Amino acid sequence: MPELPEVEAAARIARRTAQGQVVKRVRVLHRAQRKGLSDRVAGSLSGERVGSIIRRGKYQALGLSSGRWLVVHFRMTGDWAVRRVGDTTPLDAHARVVIEFANGSALVLVDARALATVGVVAGAGDPFPRLGPEANGKDFTQAWLHNRLTGRRGAIKVALLDQTVVAGVGNIYASEALWRARIDPRVVASTLTRAQVAGVVRATKATIARALKGGGRYSQGTYEGRFAVYDREGEPCRRCRATIVRIVQAGRSTYYCPRCVTKEKRR
DNA sequence: CGACTCCTGACA
DNA sequence: TGTCAGGAGTCG
């Protein structure tokens, strides 16, 4: 469940389960996760006490008493599940990593596609790659975004997916935010007016805030009518009833309302 | 910049 | 059987 609101919801589960707990054992069940978490590294986690658990963009990091970080990224289909160590019911078929704690609880990385990444990094370094400001944070401003879009020849939609531009926006909320801002996703990023850039920032924050409020669980189609445009090709725009269009940008689906963005151009 | 890759499951 | 999927690192 990958975008900022969903990862935040997952981080809360991780905090509730793991914070303050001592790791008894970490089991890596899929070879894909062994790239970042070899058996040797996984073994070194035994005895670590989990301190703070932070989220940055779509990353989570569990602070360890040795000073290291256990960094997790869900990618497409990762999520946390919680269970008891002694539980004899079968483990989820997609369980990839099991973190067992001394108190008998366990945090399970469940990930159908096994694309999630798990790794341990030294405490000295930044646990995260170069991420831009949080999509719902005060540092994500019109000035910042305008600066980062300067000279960008690609489309605004693709720019929003660049985590060094803004952290936490994924393919769904990128389309949703641009619909809210009435910006054509195909527009070259550097050509947006200052007002349009401000609108994108506002719309992104509103979109993320709304999802956070809903508990960040879009896979279950929580909020009324799911999304405004995402996965609604051929259906009527909730604002103007025009037909939602799907295009492909940088290999990813983009959805938008052609009429809403035309109105914006005429302003 | 785009193309390709890592994996598996769902669906046409 | 083939195509597509909510992500991002790497490569040309």
Active-site annotation holder among A5, A6, A55, A58: A58
A19-58 in b/e form (b: 16+ CB < 10 A) is eebebbbbbbbeebbbebbeeebbebbeebbbeebebbbb
At a CB cut-off of 8 Å and minimum separation 6, what does A150 contact?
A190
pLDDT tens, A78-91? 999 999 999 999 99
Which pTM value belongs to this model? Answer: 0.94
- A22 CB neighbours strand B below 7 A: no
Measured in angstroms, what separates residue A108's CA from nucleotide C10's C1'?
29
| Percent of chain A whose predicted confidence (pLDDT) is above 70 | 94
| Percent of chain A whose predicted confidence (pLDDT) is above 90 | 87
pLDDT tens, A106-133? 999 999 999 999 999 988 777 887 899 9
Please indicate whether residue A210 is annotated as part of the active site. Answer: no
- A153 CB neighbours strand B below 7 A: yes
Look-up of token digits 């070194």: A44
Copy the structure tokens of residue A261: 């963005």
Copy the structure tokens of residue A249: 């940008």
Please indicate whether residue A58 is annotated as part of the active site. Answer: yes
Which residues of A in 138-157 have their CB below 7 Å from strand C's atoms? none
Smallest CA–C1' separation from A58: which nucleotide? C7
